[in-house]
Chain A
């Protein structure tokens, strides 16, 4: 088991190194220190989204409302920041906890299929925020300067604040999954929920905790995306939903649950970020770029599954 995971991680490192080299050959500026800093800065919010998605997917679930949770948290922070940064962050936290808890209760207590539940939640949130923008959430959606710095501020090339935040939060997620009882029951539920319940695990409580954690991580990612844009639109994180799932799958977490790791998802997020840079610098048609992106993601998932299935 141990050997298998190591072999997959080596494969992911090789893939990352290859995409890194190819990108550098296409655009030599990519190898420069500021450029590496920017790529890592852009990978940070995706890495946080993938952290949330990893936790949920390890239990055999998925969170399709993650992008709207991220957007919602960012929007709330931006609009409420006039009443103080901490208060606005508290509002966003409450929002994430409530939405995550509703997802978790529906999935864990009422047994709603996570795909259906979170897809509906996403649609509901779009509706709520569409109305909110002109009523209870009316106001300037500009991000406070402190959060702009936290999302894109440079410390010392190529180290940026978002990278530091990602390392701290990501380290905590990795530690929780690998070294704590909470982590172990997440894997146990994903592996066999019935067996976990018979062994005395209160599965529904874990499910709620999982969806709440996912929503909080998504909220952080959303605030970071908002900070990087300078202001928040209600479509802010839409285009990050599929990459958040793709990063986790490329990183080798099984969509059936019970197998995988956050370190794999980190690699997935880094590979996708380098890939995104590569596509941005290529001078080819948009259709071709989409084709390349889809093809590489598919190939990576295939390479990974064939490696990890080999004994």
Chain B
């Protein structure tokens, strides 16, 4: 009994705190230079995704149009992301940037948001909710760009080890379409082995060590699990490198640079994590009433050290970790410098003076 009595003032205090908090949130002004942006990321602890969120924060700070970026970054599924979206609706955000874990399953929540006048921008992957904007790398062209460069590096003949991502994942399916459309053009090239790495570094490395045998393949295409495959070439092929398609991972850029003199041809296909910044740019354009296409697709580039020495040299960051997505700018979309990106500060915790 006693404890119940003592709970009363505590409860009252908690209620009033909640009320004040609620009021301050609902009072968030929605005028043109004070937007509140909600970000839902369903995969925490992943370098690429962290950079994506940092890009949103950095671009928001520089835009001077955003007062707050609210981030929900956790390991969750469509149900969890739907809960995030609904929380953002009750917090009266102006726009939601979401990296969707599912194309369809989050639609009911996104529909509620759109109905409430909130702009929804899906980055990296699509959602099918009507009225949502999509900002994504063109995954079909991603598959094709790497394949085209690989074909050239292999002199349009030989056997390819084809290392995909996750079976059934939308991006993997699109990349596969692009890859196979190029392979079909070259009669002397053949995919003799197709495996899934599940975008897992250790599994990708293990598969490469199990499959790479001297003379069996003349080239390898990976869906971004690249640098362990180079290690496997060192052990299995005793340094007789064959061309390899990877992504803009920092360590792969280093290998592409440093092993070029030993005959290694690394093909770096861009899959920029800073696409989050492009998502923010689109969100602001929509909020400002500009006409924006419902789908913005970025065209990936395929670099080799021979042809793009300058780009690769300037994209490699010595002090960044191996899986860091090295493409740190998207022309026409992002404006931050690498240093501003690395600081990873949102307007509300920034000392850039953006809100001054």
Interface residues of A (CB under 8 A from B): 29, 34-35, 38-39, 41-42, 78-79, 126-127, 129-130, 133-134, 138-142, 148, 152, 154, 225, 228-240, 276-277, 280-281, 283, 285-287
A35, A140, A240: which contacts B321 (Cβ < 8 A)? A140
Within 8 A of A (CB), among B162-200: 167, 193-196, 198, 200
Q: Which residues of B contact A228 (CB under 8 A)?
A: 202, 205, 209, 228, 231
Cβ–Cβ contact B235 & A229, under 8 A? no
Is the beta-carbon distance between A140 and B318 smaller than 8 angstroms?
yes
The one of B193, B200, B235, B319 that contacts A238, using a Cβ cutoff of 8 Å: B200
Pair A234/B45 contact, Cβ less than 8 Å: yes
With A126-B45, A141-B321, A142-B251 known as contacts, the answer to whether A229 contacts B210 (CB < 8 A) is no
Closest to A34 in B: B236
Interface pair B210/A38, CB less than 8 Å apart? yes
Q: Is the CB of B50 within 8 A of A235?
A: no
Q: Which residues of A contact B213 (CB under 8 A)?
A: 29, 35
**Chain A residues in 8 Å Cβ range of B321:** 79, 133, 138-141, 231-233
Measured CB to CB, the residues of B under 8 A from A are: 44-47, 50, 54, 167, 193-196, 198, 200-203, 205-207, 209-211, 213, 227-228, 230-231, 234-236, 250-251, 254-255, 318-323, 342, 344
Min Cβ gap B280→A in Å is 19
The CA-CA distance from A225 to B255 in the complex, in Å, is: 19
Which residues on A sit within 8 Å (CB–CB) of B45? 126-127, 129-130, 234-235
B230 lies within 8 A of A281 (CB): no
B42 CB to closest chain A CB (Å) equals: 14
How many residue pairs at the A-B interface have CB separations less than 8 Å? 120
A126 B44 Cβ-Cβ under 8 A:
yes
Among A141, A281, A287, point to the contact of B210 (Cβ < 8 A).
A281
Check A229/B344 contact, CB under 8 A, given A235-B46, A286-B167. Answer: no
The complex places the Cα of A232 from the Cα of B227 at a distance, in Å, of 10
A-B contact pairs, 26 of them (CB 8 A): A42-B210, A130-B45, A134-B50, A134-B344, A138-B319, A138-B321, A139-B321, A140-B320, A140-B321, A140-B322, A141-B323, A142-B254, A152-B231, A225-B202, A230-B231, A231-B227, A231-B251, A231-B323, A233-B322, A234-B46, A235-B45, A238-B202, A239-B198, A239-B203, A280-B206, A280-B210
